[in-house]
Amino acid sequence: MAVAKPKTMVLRRRTRAPKRYSEDKDGLVCDDVYCERCGSGDFGSKLLLCDKCDKGYHLFCLRPILVSVPKGSWFCPSCTNIKQPQLFPLVQTKIVDFFRIRRSSESMENQSNIKKRKRACSLAVSKRKRKLLAYNPTEDPQRRLEQMASLATALKASGTEYSDGLTYRPGMALRSANCAALEKGGMQILPKEDVETLNLCKKMMEKGECPPLMVVFDLVEGFTVQADRYIKDLTIITEYVGDVDYLKNRENDDGDSMMTLLHASNPSKSLVICPDKCSNIARFVNGINNFSPDGRKKQNVKCVRYDVNGECRVLLIANRDIRKGERLYYDYNGYEHEYPTEHFV
């Protein structure tokens, strides 16, 4: 803690940061807290102090941007000497173990061709009925390994284990608490055909047939996701997964990736998904800037909550055709409109 004016202290972890003062030789009080990037001392509630050098940085001036004050100690880019994340080994056995892939590469390729033929036969009907589409994996097994290695790199760098489903841990919400009937105003039910499509996507991922996506590291945006092939409108990108907990247990949590799972009429029964311990590629799909027309134009994915066999599930779905190489973005404020996106790129 650094002493400022009498009875005033600058908190190193804070959402409200009083300015720090010092006296010059003439006895005048001068403000000496400012952002090293922009030079301004404004927006004190967004000004974060390094626990090593004591210099200040606005959350939104950092690259990548910090959405909220981090837990514990925080060190600025100069003190941490941030570098590119260490790449996950492009070794099939390591990737198979990391993602717990169940089948050999040969059987995966054969099954991929079978599923591909089945999907090709049903696309026309699905389009007319506006049904959800299963993602179309990349045919090249080597390229799929590269896609999975990119996700493993991001997960390892963020200290997150891989999971492709909601997890229920002791001390958090029980699975029985995930009841779609409790949703305030009701929740849309995922039709049977779309449930089958979702299950197909899950089975493909279990066999190593991942979505055609690459996770890349951007110095401005951090980890972000881009399409590695053309993706059609209404394609299921992935499910948003992680630990399920009660919102009341997370109201003071500074995690920047929590997702609403159940918005119950009784607030004490509302649930959130917390992807900080275990997650999949959904954690790295970035949000749009809701305050910018150009930001809103970038949206190509929508986040939708569904009742799936009585339980709440959150799906990321393409809301238009997505070109190869295009980065994926969705609206973080699809429901509550409380997420601070005004400084997003």
pLDDT at 22: 38
> In this predicted model, what pLDDT tens digit does every residue of 179-214 receive, in sequence order?
999 999 999 999 999 999 999 999 999 999 999 999
Helices 141-157 and 92-99: crossing angle, nearest 10°?
A: 60
Q: State the burial class of residue 39 (Cβ atoms within 10 Å of its Cβ: 0-12, 13-18, 19+).
A: exposed
> Which pair of structure tokens corresponds to residue 282?
């959904």
pLDDT at 126: 40
> Which pair of structure tokens corresponds to residue 19?
């300015």
> In this predicted model, what pLDDT tens digit does every residue of 12-30 receive, in sequence order?
333 333 333 334 444 433 3
Residues 324 and 225: beta-carbon distance below 8 Å? no
Amino acid (1-letter code) at residue 72 = G
Q: What are phi and psi of 158, to 5 degrees?
A: -95, 5
What is d(CA 61, CA 55) in angstroms, rounded to the nearest whole number? 13
pTM of the model: 0.75
Region of residue 301 (phi > 0: left; psi between -120 and 50: alpha; otherwise: beta): beta
Q: What is the average per-residue pLDDT within 332-336? A: 62
User: What number of CA atoms fall less than 13 Å from residue 256's CA on the CB side?
Assistant: 16
pLDDT at 345: 55
> In this predicted model, what pLDDT tens digit does every residue of 298-308 receive, in sequence order?
899 999 999 99
> In this predicted model, what pLDDT tens digit does every residue of 150-169 receive, in sequence order?
999 999 998 999 999 999 99
Helices 141-157 and 105-129: crossing angle, nearest 10°?
A: 90
- pLDDT-wise least confident of 3-17, 97-111, 191-205: 3-17
Average pLDDT, the chain: 81
Residues 275 and 328: beta-carbon distance below 8 Å? no
What is d(CA 313, CA 307) in angstroms, rounded to the nearest whole number? 6
